[in-house]
Structure 1
Amino acid sequence: MALHCAMLSAIPVTFLARFDSERVLDSLRNATVMMGVPTHYSRLLENPRLDVDLASGIRLFTCGSAPLRDSVFEEFAERTGHRICERYGMSETGIITSNPSNDERLAGTVGYPLPGVELRVVDNDAIPTEAATPVEPGVIGSVEVRGPHVFSGYWHRDRVSTSTLDPIDADGWFTTGDLGSLDESGRLRLHGRSGDLIISGGENIYPKEIELVLDEVAGVRESAVIGVPDRDLGEAVIAVIVVDDERFALDNCNAELARKLSRHKHPKQIVVAPSLPRNAMGKIQKNVLREQHEQHEQHEQQQAIHGHG
């Protein structure tokens, strides 16, 4: 999507084989726009060279692919004088929403629907999707879009297959698979993927809400919250975090969780990992984290069996 603008304008594009903060910073002086993902910006902030002067020639920094942490948004603005423009899009739709390029950009939001894009947030539990009704501002639901920008379907997928629900309903609404909420002005805030929703003890738990708390704890570099099978609750909340050992204290995590979240949202376990698995787009692969947890549990059970033997 970023390349479309460059090709239409016949302007040069700088490609790097991989993300390297030194090479990116060196390239900023010869660029006017940088399009990145949250991991790129957090890693740039780790480089002491990043400052107002180095970013002075950039007209616009944009971010997509995954939600940007509020703390990264604010620190980047403080260090460079630029407020990152967060956007939201998919391969199936192109760009759906964007914060204004020439107006206020709010941390944690992906802005307003673009012209010609219809967007609504509907009851996430409605089945079939045609029965879905829009929820009130501030209420989390399933994000749906409609318009000429939406694709017509997946290649070689049988639209009448009973194995999967058709993502486009009879009225043309496309179910994105994302959870979100709209504020009173119509700005969209994303709360994660619907497949990541945790149902524990009959309560809906949104991982993003917990991740936002953990990410603000001193020494926590990033976090991912997943649901895993639990005999008692159906699903249990597990948090996986990457930390700065010199600043991190588990007690601080527990204190912040107790202060900001109700008890049923607290992770049953907090696991410290050296890194979080990501795909080529920089998105955290929670399915991999769930698989790793399952493998660990199976190993523990086998160890216990051998121990008793």
Structure 2
Amino acid sequence: MSTNIFSVVEARCRHDAPLLYTEDGTTISYGDMLALTARYANLLASLGVVKGDRVAAQVEKSPEALFLYLAVIRMGAIYLPMNTAYQLPEMEYFFKDAQPTVFVHDPANATAKQELAMACGIPHCLTLDGAGLGSLSDQCRAQSASFATVDTSNGEVAAILYTSGTTGRPKGVMISHENLLANGEALVKLWGFTGADIQLHALPLFHAHGLFLSTHCALLSGSSMIFLKKFVAAKVVEMLPRATVMMGVPTFYTRLLDTPQFDLVACHNVRLFVSGSAPLLPETALYMQQRTGHTVLERYGMTESLVITSNPLHGERRIGSVGLPIEGTELRLADEAVNDNRPLPAGTVGAIQIRGPAIMKGYWRNPEKTAEELTSDGWFKTGDLGVLSEDGYLTIVGRSKDLIISGGYNIYPKEVESILNAIPGVVESAVVGVAHRDFGEAVTAVLVCSEPVPSADDIMASLKGQLANYKLPKKIFFVAEFPRNAMGKVLKNELRAIYGKV
């Protein structure tokens, strides 16, 4: 039996039911989606794309961008979404590692992108802008609106999402159709989605949160989405009275709370607010309660496993906790330094380990790293530290890796540090995340420099064009030396404590 998640959507949907409501007032039905994904799939097939081939996309959010993703998985190929903020040096690594057959990109800076793609051996490039226009749309018009969805089985990969490692070398997380279907079905049930729901979708489509979690809850339940190109607080408040559900990152909620019109009236039709991708500060959750009467449902997940735990739809939504393991997912805490598979009792801080049907197939072409992330008895090591209550609620207390989550995006300090260290005058750098009301965490760089010490403006000028904007430091500090332990390791916890107060 096929496990292609698109087959499930195709079998369940009503062709005349609305799927997307756009900002300009257009309604796009499930039938429209089926026709356009067929045209895209036929076009990609005419370019030689077959099951297992990679299709890379760096495009602005639009209905057509969503349908491109669905077309790729419909034909059994592998979708590779790329953050629209990535610069050419970052893209080059993904191209060489994933070796896509087709690259779909925004027309802006098209020549440089196509030259890079050609140099990396990508045979075909297509364009798609934020209005849904470009050579992809032009060439698909001649294609048939009928396409036989390709069967997939045995853990075949639907998408590869790159996530940075502590060494700075990104890893391609292979997400299978079974992963997507298992997690999507569990969330539809857990969060009570029905065909009557209208979800306000303001998340980007290059991230698992917006591409998988939000869209799959709609697609698998036959519900609709108000599809915003990006998050703008005023626009969200304007559209919110039509919605029943909203998913977001903590930054969304802090910015909504800064908007006077965000109140009980604006939220009168909403049954559920969900927050994820970064820690939701307790003060933000409490303020949401006061302003809207809603307790935000906080959940916990990661690219390698999608959603792991969630506070319940019905029952206690415990502020400060990320809730209970979702259906099908097992979770335990262990002292990995002593024994990587001995569970710790409730109330004890330990490394969070999981297993279940939504955990990735592995890292793309990196079996050694995949094996490193598994315990001796086959559980996946999340890299996060947590504590379980007696009744099973999980609270995240830290990360065993120095991951920074800013605005819902993952940033590993090593990647930023390697570029900082190459700047003339920089002797050594340490990059940490410090608490930030709007972004959750702010990237902060602390530098030891030689004379003449470069200015912060010079440092930022060197970084721009090499790093996506969300990875750039919000603040830069200069010091004579770093605090270190007896082994000479920089004490980043001290840097976080010092510069988190500045």
> Which TM-score band (shorter chain)?
0.5 to 0.7
Q: Report the counterpart of residue 401 of structure 2 in structure 1.
A: 195
The CA RMSD over aligned residues, in Å, is 2.9
Give the TM-score normalised by structure 1.
0.65
Q: Report the counterpart of residue 276 of structure 1 in structure 2.
A: none
Matched, 1:186 2:186: no
The alpha-carbon deviation at position 147 of structure 1 amounts to: 1.6
Q: Report the counterpart of residue 238 of structure 2 in structure 1.
A: 26
Verify the 8 A CA contact 1:32 1:59 in the aligned structure 2. yes
Once the two structures are overlaid, the 10-residue window that deviates more, 100-109 or 145-154, is 145-154
Q: Report the counterpart of residue 9 of structure 1 in structure 2.
A: 221
Aligned-partner Cα distance in 2 for 1:268–1:13: 43
Once the two structures are overlaid, the 10-residue window that deviates more, 33-42 or 109-118, is 109-118
Name the CA shift for 1:117/1:195 in 2 (closer, same or farther; >3 Å): same
Q: Report the counterpart of residue 265 of structure 2 in structure 1.
A: 53
Q: Report the counterpart of residue 357 of structure 2 in structure 1.
A: 148
**1:195 counterpart SS class:** coil
Residues 265-287 of structure 1: per-residue CA shift (max 9 Å, x gap)? xx344564xxxxxxxxxxxxxxx
Q: Report the counterpart of residue 89 of structure 1 in structure 2.
A: 301
Verify the 8 A CA contact 1:225 1:238 in the aligned structure 2. no
**1:26 counterpart SS class:** helix
Once the two structures are overlaid, the 10-residue window that deviates more, 101-110 or 14-23, is 14-23
**Bigger Cα Rg:** 2
Residues 223-256 of structure 1: per-residue CA shift (max 9 Å, x gap)? 65989742456415124xxxxxxxxxxxxxxxxx
Matched, 1:120 2:312: no
Aligned-partner Cα distance in 2 for 1:67–1:78: 19
Verify the 8 A CA contact 1:226 1:238 in the aligned structure 2. no
Once the two structures are overlaid, the 10-residue window that deviates more, 43-52 or 133-142, is 133-142
Give the TM-score normalised by structure 2.
0.41
Name the CA shift for 1:39/1:269 in 2 (closer, same or farther; >3 Å): closer
Aligned-partner Cα distance in 2 for 1:160–1:223: 31
Name the CA shift for 1:141/1:226 in 2 (closer, same or farther; >3 Å): farther
Corresponding residue to 2:483 among 230, 238, 241: 230
Verify the 8 A CA contact 2:250 2:440 in the aligned structure 1. no
* Ranges in structure 2 where 5+ consecutive residues have no aligned partner: 1-212, 404-431, 447-481
The alpha-carbon deviation at position 191 of structure 1 amounts to: 1.8
Q: Report the counterpart of residue 44 of structure 1 in structure 2.
A: 256
* Ranges in structure 1 where 5+ consecutive residues have no aligned partner: 198-206, 240-266, 273-309
The alpha-carbon deviation at position 171 of structure 1 amounts to: 2.2
Verify the 8 A CA contact 1:227 1:238 in the aligned structure 2. no
Which of structures 1 and 2 has the larger relative contact order (alpha carbons within 8 angstroms, sep 6+)?
A: 2
**Alignment size in residue pairs:** 223
Aligned-partner Cα distance in 1 for 2:252–2:499: 28
The alpha-carbon deviation at position 194 of structure 1 amounts to: 1.2
Verify the 8 A CA contact 1:196 1:226 in the aligned structure 2. no
**Sequence identity, in percent?**
41
**2:290 counterpart SS class:** helix
Q: Report the counterpart of residue 300 of structure 1 in structure 2.
A: none
Verify the 8 A CA contact 2:280 2:440 in the aligned structure 1. no
Matched, 1:133 2:369: no
Aligned-partner Cα distance in 1 for 2:261–2:303: 34
